[in-house]
Amino acid sequence: MPDLLGLARSIASRAVGGEQVEAYIASGRETSIRVFEHEIESLSSAESAGLGVRVVASGRVGFAWVAAIDEASAAEALAQARDNARFATPDGLGGLPDPDGRQPVDLDLWREDLVGTSTAKKVDIALDLEKSTLAGDPRIRQVVHANYADAASQSAIASSTGIEVANRRTSCSVSVYAIAADGDDSQTGYGYAAGRQVDDLDVEKAASDAVNRATRLLGAKKPASSRLTTVLDGRITAMLLALLAGTLSGEEVTKGRSLFANRLGEQVAVAELNLVDDPTNALAWGASRVDAEGLACRRNRLIADGKLLGYLYDTRSGRVAGTSSTGSAVRGGYRTTPRPGARALAIEPGELSQEEIVGRIDHGLLVQSVSGVHSGVNAVSGDFSVGAEGVMIRSGSLAEPVREVTVASTIQKMLQHVSFIGSDIDWLPGSATGLTLAIDDMSMSGS
């Protein structure tokens, strides 16, 4: 294992004059396996590493990255970042963070067990997943692909302002995509499971989810347009929360692009809704000891009893807003600079299971998958319109399946129309946690 923190320190120590230097270094080992018709379709394994250097000189920020972690590459990136800084607009607020004295919580996200798992065992997991899915129902015509993927990654951040942190984590996941057929009709369903080591993976649940989702859509028709309650499956709720996180980013707020700017203390959601971003919770996929600038992650309450309580800040946006970082800097690897963002958003769960929620709805749609989220949701205006598939709810029971519809509203209105919050918390991969959420007064467009 290379000494990432040692190299990061060495780069940071080269700051001269009034200059600030930060080095972010990441390395990882990844495996991904795809099986098809009981054979390995592809098996990929690789180690990769890279570093990103941020330089702040006279209030100007420059950045450079390189996909290598040798000494010569580091020196070249530092020189490039310095040169880039000369052309940025000076800004008194853009400097690197100083250590804020908060100690990171003790989280161990590394499993030696995953590192020691043989490739053969990983292949077997993917083959088992395909087999279980095919065996799940006679109407499953085929499994398009069954996948296993894992990563063991390490990172280190050091800066001339005194930040020094190292971090590491393991993760693994399986996913399967199946087609159910009945006569001329074909429908698709998706299942997945995730964990930090292979024993965490609930392969059977991934298979049965894909089977159920595909088979229950058989015979789906395009229904007539109507206004109804949508019951969002956990994965859809997580997607909605991730969109919401964009509007609560301190950067969007301070730049006047957020629906929720200047609304602290206002009732932005129903009183039953509580939202936190808590990367210190080890159950969350996005759990982390430190943020992407090396400050301790912390539990941030965003909405309490429906009232807007706060935003997510990195160092710069915190300074612009006249406050400080909430430990919410995220970055997409060594190639990008930090921005504020969520890691572990979660709605406080309610009392009812998904089945019980469905039982209380007279006219609704259980949404099991959505499409066109990147094209149909505008996080600045709040307009929300996505393609959907699911099952109609009539008088408290699941009824006929539907497809080729859209469901639409605005983000603002959806938060005010949450009618039930599920108890079925699901720690999904990504930056947000799933649970069933019922939202009233949505427009379903069909024929």
The structure tokens listed for 439 are 């939202």
DSSP β-bridge partners for residue 192: 175
377 within 8 A of 384, measured Cβ to Cβ: yes
Phi/psi at 235 (5° precision): -65, -30
Task: Please say which residue, 346 or 388, places its beta carbon nearer to another protein.
Answer: 388
Q: Where in 141-200 is the site for another protein (CB under 8 A)? A: 142, 144, 179, 186-188
Residues 6+ apart with CB under 8 A from 196: 109, 110, 111, 114, 169, 170, 171, 172
| Residues in 215-244 that interact with another protein by CB under 8 A | 222, 225
Q: Which of 115, 372, 397, 399 binds another protein (CB under 8 A)?
A: 372
Counting other chains too, the contacts that 313-320 makes at CB distance below 8 Å and 24 or more residues apart are 313/250, 313/340, 314/250, 314/251, 314/338, 314/339, 314/340, 315/95, 315/96, 315/97, 316/93, 316/94, 316/251, 317/249, 317/250, 317/251, 317/253, 317/254, 318/250, 319/93, 320/93, 320/250, 320/254
Closest to another protein by CB, 9 vs 221, is 221
Name the one range near another protein by CB under 8 A: 105-113, 192-200, 256-264, 287-295: 256-264
Q: Which is nearer to another protein, 386 or 438 (CB)?
A: 386
Compute the least distance from the CB of residue 241 to another protein, in Å.
20
Q: Does 74 bind another protein (CB under 8 A)?
A: no
H-helix segments, 47-118: 71-85, 112-115
Taking the complex as a whole, the smallest distance from the CB of residue 351 to another protein amounts, in Å, to 31
What track of x and - describes contact with another protein for positions 33 through 72 (by CB under 8 A)?
---xx-xxxxxxxxxxx-----------xxxxxxxx----
Q: What is the nearest approach in angstroms of another protein to the Cβ of residue 101?
A: 28
- Residue 94 makes contact with another protein by CB under 8 A: yes
Segment near another protein (CB under 8 A), from 6-14, 197-205, 238-246, 437-445? Answer: 437-445
Query: Hey, what are 187's tokens?
Result: 């429908």
Q: Which stretch binds another protein (CB under 8 A): 162-170, 288-296, 344-352, 375-383?
A: 375-383
Query: Per the structure block, which two tokens stand in for 153?
Result: 């990654």
Binding flag, residue 355, another protein (CB under 8 A): no
Q: How many CB atoms lie within 10 A of CB 397?
A: 11
Write down the least CB distance from residue 138 to another protein, Å.
18
Nearer to another protein (CB atom), residue 13 or residue 45 = 45
Helices (H) and strands (E) in the chain, counts: 11, 18
Interaction mask 311-350, another protein, x per CB under 8 A: ------------------------xxx-------------
Asked if residues 261 and 249 have their Cβ atoms less than 8 Å apart, the reply is no
Binding flag, residue 76, another protein (CB under 8 A): yes
Smallest distance, another protein to C-beta of residue 346, A: 25
CB of 413 to another protein, least distance (A): 9
* Half-sphere CA count of 188, side-chain side, radius 13 A: 9
In angstroms, give the least distance from the CB of 49 to another protein: 7
Count of residues touching another protein (by CB under 8 A): 76
Helix (H/G/I), strand (E/B), else coil: 227: strand
Minimum distance between the CB of residue 331 and another protein, rounded to whole angstroms?
A: 12
Query: Cα–chain-centroid distance for residue 252?
Result: 18
What tokens does 279 get? 């990367």
Q: How far is the CB of 78 from another protein (least distance, A)?
A: 12
* Of the candidates 279, 251, 338, 341, the residue with the CA atom closest to the CA atom of residue 22: 338
Mask for 398-427, x = binds another protein (CB under 8 A): -----xxxxxxx------------------
What tokens does 87 get? 């052309």
CA 421 to chain centre: 20
Among 102, 381, 397, 399, binds another protein (CB under 8 A): 381
83 is an interface residue for another protein by CB under 8 A: yes
84 binds another protein (CB under 8 A): yes
Residue whose CB is less far from another protein, 83 or 182: 83
Q: What type of residue is 162?
A: G
Q: Which stretch binds another protein (CB under 8 A): 17-25, 293-301, 368-376, 415-423?
A: 368-376
